[in-house]
Amino acid sequence: MALPLSGVPLVIGHRGASGHRPEHTLASYELAARMGADLIEPDLVPTRDGVLVARHENDITGTTDVAEHPELADRRTTKVVDGTEVTGWFTEDLTLAELKTLRAVERLPRVRPGNTEYDGLFEVPTFAEILALRERLSAELGREVGVYPETKHPSYFAGIGLALEEPLVAALAEHGLNRPDAPVFVQSFELANLADLRHRLGLRTRSIFLLEGSGSPHDPVVAGESLREVVRAGVDGIGPDLTMVLSRRPDGSCGQDTGLVERAHRAGLLVHPWTFRAENTFLLTDFRVGDDPGAHGDLAGQISAFLQVGVDGFFTDHPDVGAAAVQAWEAHTEEQRPNG
């Protein structure tokens, strides 16, 4: 069964169910699918021997116990990645065998202390392991669990001889997923990377161009000028940050519809904004509940505000809340129909 291009908004389990488990672990992805995520989202980076693994960044200092491994102490280094100087341990300096000796830890221990209970339990998964998990869960749950891989720093990795693109397309093909109706979206912040994947390497799945902007009406993407370029690259949609869809007022409350969704739809593009998180500290102030920054607010309410402007799917660390919000939205929409 193919995932629809439009219709019921898609719930994308951001780094799995990262509000409930350390991100980018098989446990996090599995929980996301069981909570109702339509797709699970791995960020992909390579190991020194060219194997794709899931980490938010190639710097794994904050998401693994690497600092507690004296045998890897000499790998700590400083490098410049996409213009930013970073000090730590990097996936591209470790073989897969070395990486597999590490265990994942919670990236946001202060906001998500409950997740630290799982520190030290889970390995860093390979993309192949994630695709195998996807297959097993699809069979068990009786529905296609999709996968939504992001190529992280693709130009940087191509520049050091560890391009992500070939192994990504090969892995999808190996699992029978390199086809237009596969339950797959490939995402990147680099438009040229998505065009290259499609035109040079024969990627046939749908793809999404990620965007980060100010939400200002003068932002060229929000204003619609750059959407033509996105369409020309042959991608299927955009993944804007939340403020590019509904602007944020200076006091942190929900601002106006920027019109981006309508303009993207007119250009034939899907819109999948990121990232919805339940903790007060991440919510627009309108949807906070109480004063504790780590307590959960009304994430479902915030998601509904975005569904109202017509987003086609969304990334969330809390796919349980996301799936419930979509269900409520669909029921509400059904009630509004003339014979509903």
Residues near ligand G3P (CB under 6 A): 14, 43, 56, 150, 187, 210, 239, 274-275, 315
Angle subtended at Cα 124 by Cα 117 and Cα 112, rounded to the nearest 5 degrees? 30
- Least separation, in Å, of the C-beta of 147 and ligand G3P? 13
Contact partner at residue 30 from ligand G3P, Ca ion, none, CB < 5 to 8 Å by partner kind: none
**φ, ψ dihedrals at 330, nearest 5°:** -65, -40
Query: Distance (Å, rounded) from C-alpha 92 to C-alpha 164?
Result: 11
Q: Would you say the C-alpha torsion 17, 22, 25, 27 has a positive or negative sign?
A: negative
Binding residue for Ca ion (CB under 5 A) from 38, 43, 59, 106? 43
CB atoms within 10 A of CB 150: 22
- Least separation, in Å, of the C-beta of 218 and ligand G3P? 23
Q: Under the criterion CB under 5 A, does residue 23 sit at the interface with Ca ion?
A: no
- CB nearer ligand G3P, residue 63 or residue 187: 187
Residue 275, preceding peptide bond in cis (omega within 30° of 0):
yes
Helix then strand then coil, % of the chain, to nearest 5 = 35, 20, 45
Stretch that binds Ca ion, among 37-45, 249-257, 290-298, 305-313 (CB under 5 A): 37-45
- CB nearer ligand G3P, residue 98 or residue 237: 237
Residue number of the CB closest to Ca ion reads 150
Stretch that binds Ca ion, among 71-79, 147-155, 220-228, 330-338 (CB under 5 A): 147-155
- Least separation, in Å, of the C-beta of 319 and ligand G3P? 14
161: nearest Cα among 60, 50, 59, 57: 50
CA dist 63 → 120, 244, 258, 279 (Å): 10, 28, 35, 20
- Least separation, in Å, of the C-beta of 291 and ligand G3P? 27
- Least separation, in Å, of the C-beta of 241 and ligand G3P? 7
- Least separation, in Å, of the C-beta of 140 and ligand G3P? 26
Which amino acid is present at 120?
A: G
Residue matched to tokens 């710097």:
59
Q: Under the criterion CB under 5 A, does residue 190 sit at the interface with Ca ion?
A: no
- Give residues in contact with Ca ion (CB under 5 A): 43, 150
